[in-house]
Amino acid sequence: MRILGIDPGYATTGFGLLASDAAGVRLLQYGVVTTPKELPFPQRLEVLYDDLLRLVEVTSPDAAAVEELFWGHNITTGIGVSHGRGVILLALTKAKVPVFEYTPMQVKQAVVGYGKAEKRQVMDMTRRLLHMEKVARPDDAADAIAIALCHARSQTSLLSRLQADHQE
């Protein structure tokens, strides 16, 4: 299974592509999608949409894992990121990629084993689990890899298997 992890934004959107199978999880690719600051906001959203469709076309994911938003102190930035996240969900849906959403706490729990872990702990554990020499940069890409890893671990958990068996 190829999993595309997405850390949503409108200026910078992180992505990480993992391959997950019975042999384990491997990092295939990561990076960021950026939009030009000089463009008006609606055009930035259009660039994000187009670039995400291209990313899906190039990476051919079987699933996408997208982080749900955590509202911090800057509501104005949060609203912009919300718009970006909506465009991301639309692009993935239009491309017929199944979308799975995870809260920051779920990502931390899946990667570190503690839902209130610090960001640096998540980044370091992601690096270790995927046998990377160093933590991915920028942070948006590192976050996206952790989100994809959360989905990989969620899909291979015993509970997930039991639920799938029960539905058959």
Task: Output the six-digit token pair for 55.
Answer: 């990313």
Q: With beta carbons less than 8 A apart as the criterion, state whether 21 and 94 touch.
A: no
| DSSP per position, 28-96 | EEEEEEE--TTS-HHHHHHHHHHHHHHHHHHH--SEEEEEPP---S-HHHHHHHHHHHHHHHHHHHHTT
Q: Which of 21, 38, 51, 67 is catalytic?
A: 67
Q: Which of 50, 139, 140, 168 is catalytic?
A: 140
Instruction: Specify whether 168 is catalytic.
Output: no
Q: With beta carbons less than 8 A apart as the criterion, state whether 64 and 99 touch.
A: yes
Task: Output the six-digit token pair for 93.
Answer: 């849906």
Instruction: Specify whether 140 is catalytic.
Output: yes
Instruction: Specify whether 124 is catalytic.
Output: no
Indicate the burial class of 158 (C-beta count within 10 angstroms; 0-12, 13-18, 19 or more): exposed
Determine the Cα–Cα distance for residues 152 and 149; give it in Å rounded to an integer: 5
Residues noted as catalytic: 7, 67, 140
